[in-house]
């Protein structure tokens, strides 16, 4: 059989797998991390955090589960004590266009939030889509609930908008700033950003980090 170069769709080394077949294969990626940082001097500070993430990605979609806990004590006073767990599903149904659904829940004891939950759905568009780099913008609708421990604080139940920017070029650098303006009013507005970046150290500070990926 003979053909011309312009009709060759793909090529690979002898014994290697067809790239088209590899693209359809599914796989899980896992990450676990523990970060501990401290600071001494005029102000004593100790921060600990732990996180787990599992991502199942194919050429058509991506599903991830994640959880994280963060605690920080500054000069004997607890300044952070929060937990979150959630899931995120994205379906790349047409070229650079996708739809997504996500849900996240947890608590924030410093802010007296006994339980919160954010459920959102919408569409995404890949501003950059390369084999090793992807930048996706998201826009959709959300519903947020916040239940406070104090009976004097009114619980929040608000519909809103969901905006996000995802750059999952690799599992460890996933950063998703989320802005959720509530339709109910200014009180329900919230901006959140979560990242796996390690806190920087300085002369009077120290940082220890343990990470595992598979």
> What is the pLDDT, as a whole number, of residue 182?
55
Q: Can you give the residue ranges of every domain in the chain?
A: 28-196
DSSP state of 188: G
pLDDT greater than 60 at residue 64: yes
Beta strands in the chain (DSSP E): 27-39, 45-57, 61-74, 77-94, 97-108, 113-130, 133-148, 156-166, 178-180, 190-192, 205-213
Task: Confirm if 55 and 77 have CB atoms less than 8 A apart.
Answer: no
33-50 pLDDT tens trace: 999 988 887 788 899 999
Q: Which range is least confidently modeled, 40-44, 92-96, 140-144, 205-209?
A: 205-209
């Amino acid at each position: 059989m003979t053909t011309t170069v312009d009709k060759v769709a793909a090529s690979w080394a002898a014994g290697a797998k067809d790239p088209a077949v590899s693209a359809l294969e599914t796989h899980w990626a896992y990450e676990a991390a523990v970060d501990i940082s401290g600071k001494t001097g005029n102000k004593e500070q100790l921060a600990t955090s732990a996180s787990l993430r599992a991502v199942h990605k194919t050429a058509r979609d991506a599903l991830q589960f994640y959880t994280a806990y963060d605690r920080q004590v500054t000069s004997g006073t607890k300044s952070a004590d929060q937990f979150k767990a959630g899931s995120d599903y994205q379906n790349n149904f047409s070229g650079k266009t996708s739809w997504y659904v996500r849900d996240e829940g947890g608590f924030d004891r410093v802010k007296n939030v006994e339980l919160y939950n954010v459920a959102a759905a919408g569409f995404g568009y890949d501003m950059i889509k390369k084999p090793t780099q992807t930048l996706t913008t998201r826009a959709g609708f959300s519903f947020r609930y916040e239940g406070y421990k104090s009976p004097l604080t009114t619980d929040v139940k608000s519909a809103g908008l969901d905006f996000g920017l995802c750059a999952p070029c690799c599992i460890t650098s996933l950063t998703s700033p989320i802005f959720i303006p509530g339709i109910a009013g200014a009180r329900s507005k919230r901006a959140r950003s979560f990242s796996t970046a390690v806190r920087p150290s300085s002369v009077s500070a120290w940082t220890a980090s343990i990470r595992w990926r598979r």
